[in-house]
């Protein structure tokens, strides 16, 4: 039986994103295979420095060369630049001159976590602890009683860098934040959920043994210092010259009896970083120069000289422009940027905070987010109609399924991305990324088909 006139009209006029597995079942195995590389990337990129180091190794293997001022390149040449160990800018020179614009793809590689305070080590009641200060928007109670690993860098007085990766290797002990047993938790249970565990209660248990000297006043603290000194050659003063952080010790894993999802820490926003990186590495003689930037500090407002509020990326563009004798303002006003960040996937368990018609769903493809912001679009970029038309056109021309998304109901909250910083640079910008469940939790979820098709969307954009 053929379609009715009404069904034909509905097909012609209405838009409804489709489940990728229903329309493209043969792509499932490709998505599962692509996710294997993604999981490995996550396991080697728990913090920004590690992500940059791992990505640089991939870039060099793909033929990228270090960028320096005055370098003259031709179409198809590939360069990279590292800013302070926490930003990575990757460029593939295009066929068109720079003054016709750059195709930017920018993702952040920092994630919510637990940082150590500058002077963290103490003992109390014959136990040794670290004091901490959480980083980014977290639900603090989620970080208690899970295995934690210690990552980061310490600089010695002599200027030597010591990188820590403790709790990840097979056989490594892990660290933990304790919680109160339910038998004694009546008063704690009467707290607001946001205060179930308070900031100053996020103390990390390190050890319970003293040094063998009864004359030492802080024998349990000293035991931990002696272990750290034996392993890394550091003293307590070296903590003041460090960047140390605690992240979940668990590795990325498959989730679901159908093997359809990835579960891991830090998928916001390393899922977009990885898909953008892979698309950049595979870019061959693009029409427009592609510039993929992996940046820091998004979770705390993009501040500092490795965040998007700094001029680091602008200075890099100025150096590119200088190589070709072009004006930066011409390049920027003709450019197009994907602020590649995640959106909140619709969660049926908590459906009351979502507006379903403008929510993103698992397995419906990359999410195009016209604006973010808080309530009245505060702190948003709000992409223009022309920008939406261009980006949608790239995806549809490449046959990439996509969906539209908004971050929950208008008055429920909201959030921001780096899009507004590129918009402030006079660049047409829109958010495009992956839908995530349990965002900002120590264990986040993504759908493998969405990850794979976001990569394909970025490939189309780079071409």
pLDDT in tens for each of the 463 residues of the chain?
Answer: 688 999 899 989 999 889 999 999 999 999 999 999 999 999 999 999 999 999 999 999 999 999 988 888 889 999 999 999 999 999 999 999 999 999 999 999 999 999 999 999 999 999 999 999 999 999 999 999 999 999 999 999 999 999 999 999 999 999 999 999 999 999 999 999 999 999 999 999 999 999 998 888 999 999 999 999 999 999 999 999 999 999 999 999 999 999 999 999 999 989 999 999 999 999 998 999 999 999 999 999 999 999 999 999 999 999 999 988 899 999 999 999 999 999 999 999 999 999 999 999 999 999 999 998 787 888 888 999 999 999 999 999 999 999 999 988 888 877 888 899 999 999 999 999 999 999 999 999 999 999 999 999 999 999 8
Contact 453, 20 (CB under 8 A): yes
Q: State residue 372's pLDDT score.
A: 86
CA distance 431 to 383: 8
Assess contact for 239 and 118: CB atoms under 8 A.
yes
- Cβ atoms of 159 and 258 within 8 Å: the answer is no
CA dihedral 151, 156, 160, 165 (to 10 degrees): -10
4 burial type by CB count under 10 A (0-12 exposed, 13-18 middle, 19+ buried): exposed
Q: Which two tokens stand for residue 205?
A: 């248990």
Nearest partner of 51 among 324, 247, 316, judged by Cα: 247
Distance CA 92, CA 279 (A): 11
What whole-number distance in Å separates Cα of residue 428 and Cα of residue 444?
30
Contact between residue 122 and residue 206 where contact means Cβ atoms under 8 Å apart: no
User: Which residues face 373 on adjacent strands?
Assistant: 415
Q: Can you tell me the distance from the alpha carbon of 344 to that of 338, in angstroms, rounded to the nearest whole number?
A: 18
Task: Give the pLDDT score at 214.
Answer: 84
* Helix/strand number for the chain, H first, E second: 12, 23
Q: Where are the beta strands (DSSP E) in 111-221?
A: 113-124, 127-135, 148-155, 161-166, 176-177, 204-207
Measured in whole angstroms, the distance separating CA 175 from the mean position of its chain's CA atoms is 23
User: What pLDDT is recorded for position 413?
Assistant: 74
Model pLDDT, residue 219: 95
Q: Which one, of 121, 115, 113, lies nearest residue 239 by Cα?
A: 121
| pLDDT at residue 149, rounded to an integer | 98
Q: Please tell me the distance from the alpha carbon of residue 268 to that of residue 271, in angstroms, as a whole number.
A: 6
Q: What is the pTM of this model?
A: 0.95
């Amino acid at each position: 039986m053929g379609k009715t006139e009404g069904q034909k009209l509905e097909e012609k006029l209405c838009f409804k994103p489709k489940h990728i597995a229903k329309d493209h079942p043969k792509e499932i195995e490709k998505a599962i295979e692509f996710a294997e590389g993604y999981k490995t990337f996550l396991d080697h990129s728990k913090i920004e420095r590690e992500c940059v180091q791992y990505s640089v190794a991939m870039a060099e293997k793909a033929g990228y060369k270090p960028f320096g001022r005055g370098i003259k390149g031709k179409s198809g040449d590939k360069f990279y630049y590292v800013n302070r160990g926490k930003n990575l800018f990757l460029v593939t020179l295009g066929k068109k001159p720079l003054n016709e614009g750059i195709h930017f793809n920018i993702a952040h590689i920092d994630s919510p976590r637990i940082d150590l305070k500058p002077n963290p080590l103490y003992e109390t009641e014959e136990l040794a602890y670290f004091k901490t200060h959480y980083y980014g928007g977290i639900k603090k109670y989620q970080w208690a009683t899970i295995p934690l690993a210690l990552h980061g860098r310490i600089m010695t007085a002599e200027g030597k860098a010591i990188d820590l990766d403790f709790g990840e290797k097979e056989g490594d002990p892990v660290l933990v934040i304790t919680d109160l047993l339910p038998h004694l938790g009546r008063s704690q249970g009467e707290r607001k959920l946001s205060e179930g565990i308070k900031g100053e209660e996020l103390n990390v248990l390190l050890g319970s043994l003293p040094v063998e000297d009864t004359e030492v006043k802080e024998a349990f603290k000293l035991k931990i210092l002696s272990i750290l000194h034996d392993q890394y050659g550091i003293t307590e003063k070296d903590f003041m010259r460090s960047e140390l952080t605690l992240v979940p010790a668990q590795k990325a894993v498959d989730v679901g009896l159908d093997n359809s999802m990835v579960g891991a820490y830090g998928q916001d926003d390393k899922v977009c970083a990885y898909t953008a990186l892979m698309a950049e590495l595979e870019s061959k003689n693009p029409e427009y120069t592609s510039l993929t930037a992996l940046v820091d500090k998004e979770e705390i407002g993009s501040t500092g000289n490795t965040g998007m509020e700094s001029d680091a990326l602008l200075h890099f563009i100025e150096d590119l422009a200088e190589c070709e004798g072009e004006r930066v303002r011409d390049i920027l006003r003709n450019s197009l940027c994907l602020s590649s960040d995640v959106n909140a996937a619709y969660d049926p368990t908590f459906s009351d905070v979502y507006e379903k018609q403008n929510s993103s769903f698992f397995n419906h493809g990359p999410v195009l987010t016209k604006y973010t912001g808080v309530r009245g679009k505060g702190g948003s970029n709000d992409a223009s109609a022309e920008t939406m038309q261009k980006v949608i056109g790239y995806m549809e021309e490449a046959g990439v399924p996509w969906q539209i998304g908004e971050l929950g109901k208008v008055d429920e909250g909201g959030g921001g991305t780096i899009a507004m910083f590129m918009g402030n640079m006079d660049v047409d910008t829109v958010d495009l990324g992956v839908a995530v469940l349990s965002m900002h939790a120590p264990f986040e979820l993504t759908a493998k088909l969405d990850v794979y098709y976001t990569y394909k969307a970025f490939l189309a954009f780079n071409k």
